Amino acid sequence: SDTTSAGVLMKMSEDETDQDIYHDACFAAGMCCLKLASEGGEINRERLAIELMRLLGGLIEQREECPSSLIFAIEQLRGEPDEEAG
C-alpha cells in the first residue's frame, strides 16, 4: 500500500464534498507539518504553503492530477480569498 503523501492523496475521489476537501486539505497540511518537524525545519504558513505547492507540482507532473483539496489548503495558507464563497 502506498503511504506516501502523493499515494494517500491519489485515493481521493474526484467527486468530493466540501467536507471531504476540507478533511483532505487538513490531512495533507498535517503530513507536511510532520515532515518539516522531523527534518528540524521551521513551520510557518509560508513554508507549509511552499511544501504543499511542491507536492501539488509533483502530482501534476507525475500523475497529471490536481487535487482540489491541495488547492484549497494552499489558498487558505496564503490568505487568498475564496472566490466562490459569496
pLDDT tens digits for 13-72?
455 688 999 999 999 999 999 999 999 988 999 999 999 999 999 999 999 989 999 999
User: Three-state SS for 45?
Assistant: helix
Residue 11 clears pLDDT 70, i.e. is over it: no
pLDDT computed for residue 25 by the predictor? 94
pLDDT of residue 17: 86
Number of H helices, E strands in the chain: 4, 0
